[in-house]
Structures are given as C-alpha cells and as structure tokens.
C-alpha cells in the first residue's frame, strides 16, 4: 500500500479525490499492483493552476478567476478530458475527474490518458459575452499545455459546443492557423463529429440495454428516471424513449418533474427552450432532486453532479439498474449498500464513456480531414461500448465482483501493462 498517511496533505486532496483514490486502491490491492506504479497512478502527472483577471460587461468591474487543467497520465498517448465551469470546481475535483478519464479511455481501448479542466465560476450568472471572454482568457493561460498531440479538451458540466468553438478559435488564433483537433465536442460546422452531442447519453442507454439483457428484462416498457436534464441527461432520456422505454421523471438544478404515465419529451424540450428550467412544466408533478432518486423505476440515471447517492439514500433507491451518466455520483458506502441489495450498477467509467469515445472519433476525423456520416459514428460507438460492457462483465464474473470492480480491473491492468512495456526513463 503506498503512502496514504500523506493524502490529507496533498494539494489535490478533496472528497472527490478520496473517492477516486479509494476506488483505485481496492483494485490495486487485489491485483498486487507494483507499488511504484500504484503511487504514480494515485497522483496527477501534471497539474496546472492559473488565475487571471476577468472583466464584467459593465467594463468597470474586474475580478480574479481560478482555472485548472490536470493531466493524470501521459503514458497512453495524448491526454483527453472535459472542461467544467462551476462554482465549486477545485484542484481536487479536477484531479479526480482526470483520473476517471484515464480508466474510461482504457476500458474502451482509446489511445489517450486522462485529463480534466475547470474554471471556478457560475456559468449561469454570466452573459454570453462574459462567457466568451472568460473562455478565451482561460485558453490563453493553458495554451502551451493543450494541443492535438498533447491534451485535447471537450465539454463537461457548464460548457457546450459554443464554448468548444471559442476554445478552438482562441488556440488557432494563437498558433496562426486553424487547428480543429485541439478540442472535441465542437459544432459539426467547425469539424465536430456528427453524433457527439448525443454520444454520452447513447453510451449510457447502450449499457442500460446490455444490463437489461443480463437481468432477463427488456428496456422496452421499462420506467426510466433521469437526474440532470443537460447534455447527457436529455440525450439519454430521448434515446431511452427510442428504445421503447418510459421516461417518468427528469430534473435540473432547480428540481424535477414526475409523470408516472411517462413524460412527453418533445413538450419538455420545448418548455426548457422557452423557460430555461423544468419548473412549472404542466402535466407533471414537481419533485425535489432527492425525491426523484427514490422514485420507483427500472433504470435510474444520475446525470448531474457528483456524490448524489450516499449512505443516507442508497437503502431507499427503488431502481433495478443504476446507470451512472454523471461522474462520481455514488459514494463508496452507497456502492456497498447497492451491491448488497442486488442493484445492478453500471459504473461511471463505463456508462458515460460514450462521450470520450465519439470525442476520439472526432479527433481522428479532424486529423484525417475525412468526416463520417452519423450512422457510422453511432454504429462504431455502440460496438465499442457493447464490447467494453461485455469485457467488464466477463472480468466481474471471473473475479466474482460487481461491475465497478470489474471495470477497474480491466482499466488498471491495461494501463499497468502499457506502463511496464514503456519502462522507466532514463
Ligand atoms: P450539463 O451542464 O449539460 O447539464 C447538467 C444538468 O444537471 C443540468 O440540467 C443542471 O441543471 C443539472 N444540475 C447541476 N447541478 C445539479 C445538482 N446539484 N442537482 C441536480 N441537478 C443538477 O452537464 P453534462 O455535460 O450533461 O454533464 C452531466 C454529468 O455527466 C457530469 O457529471 C459530467 O461530468 C458527466 N459527463 C458528461 C459528459 C459529456 O459529454 N458532457 C461525458 C461524460 C460524463
């Protein structure tokens, strides 16, 4: 076991980092991972913290903003991972998210190590012009550490296609030529991949359908509950309906809506476009985010913030399958409770790997300047995620463990093999 007594003193120590490290430790211990590699995998290989001035629209107020970019592991290829805009972003959260990206890429077999970025702001409080200024300045601060061969950002909570377009433009302006491959999740007009927008949600539902198959159930007719109606949650809900499932509840940061007979998602979509939040949607009952997690359903999809399912509510969940669209939605204690109760948990590093998979496709298309149709993207995505699910299941069955441990075993052993082959420099 590597030096854990010092964890509390590490600059990136945080509850989310502790969760990520505890998940790694369980696997490393079981597979008797080399102690040197184990210690290295518990830490970011590179971590950048930047602070920069940010001018508000009134042109008088200038504040200081903190930004982060963490590259967890450079062994597997360039690093890859999203950029999050949220008020509670810190080095610890970004480090945990970067670590999870390493495992996600390894499970799907992508030639990337994990990375993540973040800016500590509330994107909802910014005008569009402010969002653009803050994005461009953040990119200028990290311009030397990103690039198509180095580290390729993507969207995460609080960032979207437009933010990716500004990142691509800022980087390209600084280089003096257009570099579409510096970022993924761009609009298709700028070299973005068709199918990227829905990719994470599609991966979640591909995994949920596989889990149904394992349990001898059908996704058709199943009740689905989704926490977080953003990029991941809204796509997962729509694709679940395409599979014949009934989406009975969805939520956003303000709360949720519940209709046991099933929500009309086209109407929900229109409502959100006009009113921004779900609150007040006619024809459904209001529920809080905590109540939503406890609704009766076959498939529960957390697709918002981390640590939503804890020792306080894990006993009360009524789902048969928990498909983790969000990163780190379940604490270790909750995980043990769900395991004992027989809830089939599809861990985040597998369930939400569809996003980075199509990001990889986008990067490949940008580098080759050859763009695929949506059918090819979706077909390749489904194939890769299905294979990753089945390899994870096989490993889990072989070691008689749950899916999360199976997923970590697959990911960590792939990274360990690659690291051993590269050797120690010098
Ligand atoms: P998003 O910003 O598009 O949407 C987030 C949604 O969650 C919004 O509806 C927001 O109102 C809601 N929300 C925010 N905080 C909440 C809270 N405390 N309680 C309930 N709802 C809350 O973000 P996204 O890109 O859809 O990401 C959602 C989750 O999925 C994150 O954990 C992210 O790390 C993970 N993820 C995203 C991608 C991707 O491709 N975007 C890929 C893999 C994983």
Q: What would the pLDDT profile of 293-322 be if each residue is shown by its tens digit?
A: 999 999 999 999 999 999 999 999 999 999
Give the dihedral sign, CA 250/251/252/257. Answer: positive
Task: Report the Cα–Cα distance between both ends of the chain, in Å, rounded.
Answer: 25
Note the pTM of the prediction, 2 decimals.
0.96
| Residues marked as catalytic | 116
Ligand 1 pocket mutation pick from 304, 347, 352 by most atoms within 8 angstroms of CB:
304
* Confidence band of 4 (pLDDT split at 50, 70, 90): low
Ligand 1 closest atom vs CA 155:
41
C-alpha 22 – ligand 1 centre gap (Å): 23
Of all residues in the chain, what percent carry a pLDDT higher than 90? 97
Q: Is the confidence at residue 197, as pLDDT, over 60?
A: yes
Using pLDDT thresholds of 50, 70 and 90, give the confidence band for residue 8: confident
What's the pLDDT tens digit per position in 402-425?
999 999 999 999 999 999 999 999
Helix (H) or strand (E) holding 291: helix 289-293
Q: For ligand 1, what atom is nearest to the CA of residue 230?
A: 4
Region class of 364: left (phi > 0), else alpha (psi between -120 and 50), else beta? alpha
Does the pLDDT at position 266 exceed 70? yes
Please tell me the predicted confidence (pLDDT) of residue 9: 83
Average pLDDT over residues 1-29: 84
Alpha-carbon span 101 to 51, nearest angstrom: 24
What is the atom index within ligand 1 of the atom nearest the CA of 359? 40
Tell me which residue has its CA closest to atom 4 in ligand 1: 230
Quote the pLDDT of residue 115. 98
Q: Residue 1 has what pLDDT?
A: 56
pLDDT tens, 21-42? Answer: 999 999 999 999 999 999 999 9
pLDDT at position 246 is 98
**What is the reported pLDDT for 7?**
75
Q: What is the mean pLDDT of residues 260-285?
A: 97
Mean model confidence pLDDT for the chain? 96
Give the pLDDT mean for 141-169: 97
> What's the CA-to-centroid distance between 124 and ligand 1, angstroms?
13
Q: Residue 3 pLDDT more than 90?
A: no
Concatenated DSSP letters of 322-381: EE--SSS-B-HHHHHHHHHHT-EEE-HHHHTTHHHHHHHHHHHHHHHT----HHHHHHHH
Q: Out of 231, 250, 310, 313, give the residue to mutate to test ligand 1, the one with the largest number of ligand atoms within 8 Å of its CB.
A: 231
Q: For ligand 1, what atom is nearest to the CA of residue 232? A: 26
> For residue 302, how far is its CA from the centre of ligand 1 (angstroms)?
9
10 Å Cβ neighbour count for 91? 22
> Using a 6 Å CB cutoff, which residues line ligand 1?
155-158, 200, 227-233, 251-253, 289, 303-305, 325-327, 352, 355
Q: Whose CA is nearest to atom 37 of ligand 1?
A: 156
Residue with the nearest Cα to atom 27 of ligand 1?
157
- The closest residue, in CA terms, to atom 22 on ligand 1 is 253
Euclidean distance between CA atoms 116 and 357, whole angstroms: 16
pLDDT reported for residue 2: 55
Given ligand 1 and candidates 81, 303, 307, which is best to mutate, with the most ligand atoms within 8 Å of its CB?
303
Question: Nearest residue CA, atom 2 of ligand 1?
Answer: 157
pLDDT at 234: 98
Where residue 172 falls among pLDDT bands split at 50, 70, 90? very high
Q: Which two tokens stand for residue 371?
A: 């763009």
Sign of the Cα torsion 197, 199, 200, 205 reads positive
Residue 205 has pLDDT above 80, yes or no: yes
CA of 7 from ligand 1 middle (Å) equals 28
Q: What is the pLDDT of residue 238?
A: 98
Q: Determine the average pLDDT of the residues in 180-201.
A: 98
Mean pLDDT of 205-230: 98
Confidence at residue 43, expressed as pLDDT on a 0 to 100 scale: 95
Higher pLDDT among residues 171 and 8, named by residue: 171
């Amino acid at each position: 076991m590597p030096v854990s007594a010092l964890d509390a003193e590490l600059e990136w120590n945080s509850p989310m980092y502790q969760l990520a490290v505890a998940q790694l430790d369980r696997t490393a211990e079981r597979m008797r991972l080399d102690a040197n590699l184990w210690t290295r995998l518990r830490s970011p290989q590179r971590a950048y913290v930047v602070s920069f001035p940010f001018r508000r629209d009134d042109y008088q107020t200038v504040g200081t903003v903190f930004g982060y970019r963490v590259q967890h592991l450079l062994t597997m290829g360039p690093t890859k991972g999203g950029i999050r805009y949220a008020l509670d972003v810190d080095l610890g959260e970004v480090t945990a998210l970067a670590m999870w990206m390493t495992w996600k890429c390894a499970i799907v077999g992508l030639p990337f190590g994990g990375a993540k970025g973040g800016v500590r702001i509330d994107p909802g409080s910014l005008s569009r012009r402010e969002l653009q200024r803050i994005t461009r300045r953040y990119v200028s601060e990290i311009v030397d550490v990103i690039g198509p061969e180095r580290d390729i950002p993507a969207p995460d909570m609080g960032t979207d296609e437009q933010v990716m377009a500004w990142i691509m433009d800022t980087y390209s302006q600084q280089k003096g030529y257009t570099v579409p491959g510096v970022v993924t999740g761009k609009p298709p007009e700028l070299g973005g991949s068709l199918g990227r927008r829905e990719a994470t949600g599609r991966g979640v539902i591909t995994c949920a359908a596989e889990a149904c198959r394992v349990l001898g159930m059908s996704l058709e007719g199943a009740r689905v509950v989704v926490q977080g109606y953003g990029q991941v949650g809204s796509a997962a809900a729509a694709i679940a309906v395409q599979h014949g499932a009934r989406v009975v509840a969805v939520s956003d940061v303000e709360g949720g809506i519940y209709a046991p007979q099933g929500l009309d998602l086209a109407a929900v979509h229109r409502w959100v476009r006009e009113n921004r939040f779900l609150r007040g949607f006619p024809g459904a009952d209001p529920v809080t985010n905590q109540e939503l997690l406890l609704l009766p359903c076959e498939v529960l999809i957390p697709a918002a913030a981390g640590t939503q399912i804890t020792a306080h509510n894990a006993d009360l969940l009524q789902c048969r399958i928990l498909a983790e669209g969000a990163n780190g939605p379940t604490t270790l204690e909750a995980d043990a409770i769900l395991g004992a109760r027989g809830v089939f948990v599809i861990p985040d590093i597998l369930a939400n790997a569809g996003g980075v998979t199509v990001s990889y496709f986008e990067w490949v298309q940008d580098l080759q300047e050859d763009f695929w149709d949506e059918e090819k993207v979706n077909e390749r995505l489904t194939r890769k995620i299905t294979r990753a699910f089945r390899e994870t299941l096989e490993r889990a069955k072989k070691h008689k463990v749950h899916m999360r441990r199976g997923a970590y075993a697959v990911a960590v052993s792939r990274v360990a093999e690659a690291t051993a082959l590269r050797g120690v420099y010098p």
